[in-house]
């Protein structure tokens, strides 16, 4: 019978035997704890984890919007963990066989928002004047709202300063001449 703490200790021992850096070992252990927490692993449940569970974990990582490098590192951790479990005869089949990394997005999709802005600029250039005037009114409205908000902040600051000086002058009038100077 084994438990999760034993598995983590076994995993750490094997990682240290590979002469990996302390940061790499720390990341592997963190990723393993994350996976075991997600799968809700307890005593003897690791041998019940299926390929379907692993695919669901991969899908969870993808849908959680983790960076691709983080997802792939976590998948690598799971693959390494189950390889070690198989070598130690803690499991009979490796559920990570066939588990692939998430592919990097092409450079063009990384800059999709930049392309969208460029497209909007081209759309404005190609639109009739009435549409441009409508965009202009929207921008003017937003600008005016920001100005009004900032004006209120300025008035509030002036009010606070006025109250401070009023309180200061009132406080000074309570004392006789020469108390402070």
pLDDT tens for each residue of 72-113: 999 999 999 999 989 988 888 999 999 999 887 665 554 554
pLDDT tens for each residue of 16-43: 999 999 999 999 999 999 998 898 865 4
Q: Distance (Å, rounded) from C-alpha 146 to C-alpha 142? A: 6
List Cβ<8 Å contacts ≥24 apart for 36-39. 36/4, 36/7, 36/8
Interior angle at CA 15, CA 12 and CA 21, nearest 5: 110
Q: How far is CA 45 from the centre of its chain?
A: 30
What average pLDDT does this structure show over 143-154? Answer: 56
77 versus 140: the higher-pLDDT residue is 77
Would you say the pTM of this structure is higher than 0.85? no
Residue 81: strand, helix, or coil: helix
Statement: residue 166 has pLDDT above 80: no
């Amino acid at each position: 019978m084994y438990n999760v703490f034993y598995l983590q200790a076994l995993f750490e021992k094997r990682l240290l035997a590979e002469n990996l850096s302390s940061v790499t070992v720390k990341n592997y252990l963190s990723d393993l704890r994350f996976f075991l927490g997600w799968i809700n692993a307890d005593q003897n449940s690791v041998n019940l984890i299926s390929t379907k569970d692993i695919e669901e974990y991969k899908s969870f990582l993808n849908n959680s919007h983790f960076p691709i490098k983080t997802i792939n590192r976590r998948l690598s951790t799971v693959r390494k963990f189950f390889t070690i479990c198989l070598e130690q005869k803690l499991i009979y089949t490796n559920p990570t066989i066939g588990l692939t990394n998430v592919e990097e997005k092409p450079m063009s999709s990384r800059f999709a928002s930049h392309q969208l802005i460029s497209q909007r600029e081209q759309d404005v250039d190609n639109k009739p004047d009435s549409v441009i005037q409508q965009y202009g009114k929207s921008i003017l409205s937003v600008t005016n709202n920001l100005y009004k908000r900032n004006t209120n902040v300025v008035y509030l600051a002036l009010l606070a300063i006025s109250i401070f000086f009023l309180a200061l002058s009132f406080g000074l009038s309570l004392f006789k001449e020469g108390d402070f100077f």
